[in-house]
Amino acid sequence: MSHIVDIVLDDAGLPPPTPEIEQERKVAMFDLLEENSFVLPKHSDRVVPDGPYAVNLSIRDKRLVFDVQTTDGAKAAEFHLSLSPFRQVVKDYYQICESYFDAVKTMPPSQIETIDMARRGIHNEGSRVLQERLEGKAEIDTDTARRLFTLICVLHFGG
């Protein structure tokens, strides 16, 4: 039962995404809602409601905010993460994505595959950073971290 059943990106005030970024967002959200693992660890000093959860992901005051609620709207948790550990990996990810999107239009499959392997490597690094930053706040598996990292990149695009 501990998983995300609804996710909202608070992208108000951000520039409209490119068609490629919008496609990445749609795929990540679909895949995330199809299968994910999101567990709020128990704490001795307070009750932590069981999932499933609805998550509002936003950037406020230069911090990444996870606002987690139960499906009936009760507050389950809220945590704020510094964006600093994400800045370089998000920048690298966007640069490699641009190269990938350009390569798909003009380059042979072998070169596209090489760029895609680099893109996946950077994406894995971003998901690892996210898992580290969420330690003690939420437990997520690798696939969930990868999908959430994509959504963080979408928010960071305008942040």
pLDDT by 10s per residue, the chain, length 159: 689 999 999 987 777 878 888 888 899 999 999 999 999 998 777 778 888 999 999 988 889 999 999 999 999 999 999 999 998 999 999 889 888 888 989 999 999 999 999 999 999 999 999 999 999 999 999 999 999 999 998 887 654
Q: Name residue 63's beta-bridge partners.
A: 60, 82
State the pLDDT at residue 46. 75
Alpha-carbon gap, residue 33 to 40, rounded angstroms? 17
The confidence score (pLDDT) of residue 37 equals: 95
DSSP 108: -
Please report where in the chains the tokens 């380059």 appear, as a residue: 107
**Predicted local confidence at residue 19, as pLDDT:** 84
Judge whether 51 and 3 are in contact, CB under 8 Å: yes
pLDDT of residue 159: 43
pTM above 0.85, yes or no: yes
Max Cα–Cα distance, the chain, nearest Å: 58
